[in-house]
Amino acid sequence: MLWLKFIHICGVAIWVAGLIYLAALLVGHSTVRDQQDFARIRMASRFAYMGLVSPAGFIAVGAGSALLFVGDALHPWMFAKLAAVAVLAVAHVQYAYVLTHLAEEGAQQPTLRIRIIVIAVGAAACAIFYLVLAKPALDGAILPEWLSEPGFLKRSEDPAQAPSALQLPHRQ
């Protein structure tokens, strides 16, 4: 599924670059001189977030999830990668907060929140690229056993076969 991987990597590249570009755009917020400047930065950052970065994020995660189904990729490093992807998703949602509160924060120095977002995005993206490219042999023993048990989810839907740990307590 080379084409799917191509779509995944295009989405990922635009998503990560966009998350960092947004920070650069919002740093310009500290140098606004007038209302017109402020409106320009606000429009540019909202357009970048809604029109480019969010769709790219959806495409990256959607194509990545499809790749999980078509390939044999459920290795321990993939779970570490998904944890780093969760950091990117939290950073993405934090931008929504920053953009909605832009007017209230005023023309100050770039806020601490934006600095933390940039550091988190950079660290998570580097970790993901290391994990997918080096595919390190992490110890799968740290994962719960049911994660690698074929047919576990199907069996857990059947109350007769469900493991007792998953059964809901009956009301008396």
Report which DSSP code applies to 35. H
- What does the alpha-carbon distance between residue 91 and residue 84 come to, in Å, rounded to a whole number? 11
Which amino acid would we find at residue 37? D
Residue closer to ligand HEM, measured from CB, 73 or 162: 73
Provide the 3-class DSSP secondary structure of residue 88. helix
Shortest spacing between CB 16 and ligand HEM, in angstroms: 5
CA–CA gap between residue 38 and residue 45 (Å, rounded): 11
Name the residue with tokens 């929140």.
113
Q: What is the DSSP letter of 169?
A: P
- Give the interface with ligand HEM as residue ranges (CB under 6 A): 5, 8-9, 12, 16, 60-61, 64-65, 67-68, 71, 73, 82, 85, 88, 125, 128, 132-133
**Shortest Cβ distance from residue 153 to ligand HEM (Å)?**
17
Quote the tokens at residue 41. Answer: 């930065």
Tokens representing residue 141 in the block:
């023993």
Nearer to ligand HEM, 2 or 168 (CB): 2
Name the residue nearer to ligand HEM (CB basis): 23 or 60. 60
Residue number of the CB closest to ligand HEM reads 64
Q: Smallest gap, in angstroms, from Cβ of residue 20 to ligand HEM? A: 11
In the bound state with ligand HEM, the residue whose beta carbon lies nearer, of 39 and 123, is 123
Q: Which residues have a Cβ under 8 Å from the Cβ of 151 and sit 6 or more positions away?
A: none
Shortest reach from residue 111's CB to ligand HEM, in Å: 24
Least distance CB 15 / ligand HEM (angstroms):
6
